[in-house]
Each structure stands twice: as structure tokens, then as C-alpha cells.
Copies of this chain bind each other. A is one copy, B any other.
Amino acid sequence: MSQNKEQNKGSQTKQKILKVATTLFSQLGYKGASVRKIAKEVGIRESALYNHFKNKEEIFLEVARGIFTSPFTITHDEIQELAKRGKPFLQKFTMQYKMLTFDKSNESMFRLLMIELMQNKELREQFMHEFHDKNIKLLSEGFFIMMQNNLIKSNDPMMIAYEFISTMFYIRLQITLLRFDAKSTNALSTQFEKHLDFFWENIKL
């Protein structure tokens, strides 16, 4: 039974391949992570790899699919409820964003995204959609409600959302770079909160 369960999600070997591939792709990029390295790290021969995936590209695509399935979700009701209270909405968003930044799995995915961003058109389009548009939509919805409730100055919600998310992204990028080299992120660890406070002070009524 337990075996059966596993098989639904792919064999254990297949899962291990995906796990190893995720790590290597996010450290070495598509070209740098050779099938040989992946197989060796998994502990099987290259040929055995082809029992689980048609080719290297297919491994990558399955790994890449995980990039945009972030656990970052706020329901429509939550947006309504939090945005009516103003800052708590931004606080919730910021804390979730910060958690993603420091989450090991999401960190790998983000690194992989940045590596392949300039070399994979599909990834660029998904970046624009999943990383940008979705966040802009979610945030501007919140800002719109805040304006209706006279909590913040009247302005273009999308524009404010853009201003807010851009700094978040930049902080995330910097932290990811530092962590890649195992450098301290102390100086940046409170940057998210600083941004939140600075921003709120500027937009609130």
C-alpha cells in the first residue's frame, strides 16, 4: 500500500533524481548540471536515468514546473479582511515573502529562475506572469480597498503595488546572492521590515 502510494507520485528513484536535479540545476544552471553529475549524485548510471525521463530537457522541465508553484497564497476573503485594516495586509504579505526568501526549497527555485531567466523564453514569460502580474494584482487589490476605506492616499493602486513589490524583489535577490556564498545576511535580514515601515508611512493618510 505504501509502495502504491509512492508510485502514484513516481518511483522513489524518480523523486530522488528530481531532488538532486533541482539542487544541481540551481547551482550550476542547465548546461552546467550534466546528466553525468546528476546520475552520479543520485547513485545510478546515466543510462538508468533514461528509464525515468526521456531526456535531460524533460528532467529540467519537471524541475522548472516547481518554480512557480509557491505556497504563497492569500484567499480573496483574507485580502478583504486584512486590507480593511490597512498595514496588517502589507505585514502579512511581507512576512510571507520573507519566509519564501529564506525557505530552502524556494531559494533553490528562485536561483534556478534567475539563472535561466535570460536563456529561456518560457521562463521569462512565466516570471512576468507569476512573479510580477500575480503579485501586482494581489497587492493592488489590497491597496484599492485601503483607498476606499480612507486608510491611504488616493493614487493608482497598480503603481503603488509596483513600487512595493520591486523593492521586495531586490531584497530577495540580494539575500539569495549572499546565501549562495554562505555570507551573512544580517545586514539585510530586517530590510523587509524597514521597507514595510518606510512604505506604510509614505502612503498612509
Contacts and interface: CB of A to CB of B under 8 A. Distances in A.
A2 interface: no
Contacts of A198: 155, 159-160, 163
A193 B200 CA distance: 21
Nearest to A118: B115
Interface stretch (A49-57, A66-74, A121-129): A121-129
Nearest to A194: B159
B111 A118 contact: yes
B195 A163 contact: yes
Query: A132, A160, A167, A171: which has the most chain B beta carbons within 10 Å?
Result: A167
Contacts of A127: 177
A181 interface: yes
A31 interface: yes
B180 A162 contact: no
- Copies of this chain, count: 2
A124 B167 contact: no
A32 B119 contact: yes
A128 B170 CA distance: 12
Interface residues of A, number: 37
A42 interface: no
A181 B114 contact: no
A181 B122 CA distance: 10
A202 B29 CA distance: 41
Contact of A191 (B111, B160, B162): B162
A174 interface: yes
Interface of A: 28-29, 31-32, 111, 114-115, 117-119, 121, 124, 127-128, 132, 155, 159-160, 162-163, 165-167, 169-171, 174, 177, 180-181, 191, 194-195, 198-199, 202-203
The 8 closest A-B pairs by CB, nearest first: A166-B170, A202-B202, A31-B31, A166-B167, A115-B118, A124-B177, A114-B118, A169-B170
Given A160-B198, A162-B167, A163-B199, 15 more contacts: A29-B118, A29-B119, A114-B117, A115-B115, A117-B177, A121-B181, A124-B181, A162-B191, A163-B167, A166-B167, A166-B170, A166-B171, A167-B167, A202-B202, A202-B203
